[in-house]
């Protein structure tokens, strides 16, 4: 092969002291950076909650509009109507009560009294065992699909942590117990209807488990179970449950009415709204609590009534 022309031959430039210094500095810097582990600023860890193995802790969940979309009594009423326990005019009243409940977004005491009286008049004279059996069927027909997936995930997180989970509701204790059992919860605190010889009399034992009565029920159960309320959590949608929420160390506002939302913001309570997909205001709600779907219980009842006409 012929040698390259002289004009094509590159001339080697002699290394100057400055170029040698630059090369050595670059090599040394490369060695240092390859050996160094970059420091990453870590975000402060959130405290674990629920705390696994904390035997002094438990969780208390309101039912209507917290665990379940709409009012349990309304869904129960639909099931009883299907079984000819009452007439169309009563179904219309139940439908209106449900519409009011959903539009108002809170539990008005007078409205709740109307619902209570309607339910008591319907079950009067029926056997407790009969209503319990029917309640199981009604749960599958109307209630199971209306449980908020997000709230159920919250309850499951407590169960997985080894804690007891209780429903606390103004609904009849029999209905609440069925729902708690079907969800795998520990049990339920609910309104007790009087029965004699296993037959409903149409009266209550005391008054509905509502507002301050819920707080007293939680306090009594905590004392009996040896719980530390500062370790416990409570969940509700209603400002009527502020007394119960204020009892515990971990109060949560779930699908809150306007007054509870304001109270939660002012007091730094955790908040989750499954109706709109709003994110939690405070960190610490388990990630499994996804956004639930909104169901139209009242619309379904009205449609059912129209089809039967």
Which one of 64, 237, 257, 273 is the catalytic residue? 64
Catalytic, 64? Answer yes
Which token pair is 85?
A: 């326990």
CB atoms < 10 A from the CB of 121, how many? 12
Residue 62 is a catalytic residue: yes
Q: Which of 62, 237, 241, 273 is catalytic?
A: 62
Q: Which residues form the catalytic set?
A: 62, 64
């Amino acid at each position: 092969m012929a040698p390259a022309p002289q004009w094509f031959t590159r001339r080697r430039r002699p290394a100057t002291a400055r170029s040698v210094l630059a090369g050595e500095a670059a090599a040394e810097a490369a060695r240092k950076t390859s050996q160094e582990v970059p420091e990453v600023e870590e975000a402060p860890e959130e405290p674990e909650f629920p705390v696994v193995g904390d035997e002094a802790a438990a969780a208390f969940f309101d039912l209507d509009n917290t665990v379940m979309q709409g009012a349990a009594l309304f869904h129960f009423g639909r099931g009883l109507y299907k079984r000819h326990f009452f007439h169309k005019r009563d179904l219309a009243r139940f439908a209106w009560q449900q519409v009011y409940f959903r539009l108002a977004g809170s539990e008005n005491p007078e409205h709740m009294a109307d619902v209570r009286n309607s339910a008591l008049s319907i079950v009067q004279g029926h056997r407790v065992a009969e209503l319990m059996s029917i309640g199981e069927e009604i749960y599958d027909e109307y209630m199971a699909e209306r449980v908020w997936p997000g709230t159920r995930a919250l309850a499951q997180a407590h169960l997985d942590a080894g804690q007891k989970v209780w429903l606390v509701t103004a609904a009849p204790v029999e209905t609440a117990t069925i729902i708690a059992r079907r969800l795998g919860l520990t049990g339920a605190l609910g309104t007790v209807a009087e029965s004699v010889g296993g037959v409903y009399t149409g009266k209550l034992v005391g008054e509905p488990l509502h507002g301050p009565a819920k707080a007293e029920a939680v306090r009594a159960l905590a004392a009996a179970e040896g719980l530390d309320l500062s370790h416990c959590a409570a969940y509700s949608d209603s400002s009527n449950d502020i007394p119960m929420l204020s009892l515990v160390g971990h109060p949560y506002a779930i699908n809150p009415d306007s007054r509870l939302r304001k109270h939660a913001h002012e007091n730094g309570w955790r908040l989750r709204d499954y109706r709109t997909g709003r994110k939690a205001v405070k960190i610490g709600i388990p990630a499994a609590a996804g956004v639930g779907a909104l169901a139209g219980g009242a619309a379904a009842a009205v449609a059912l009534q129209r089809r039967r006409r």
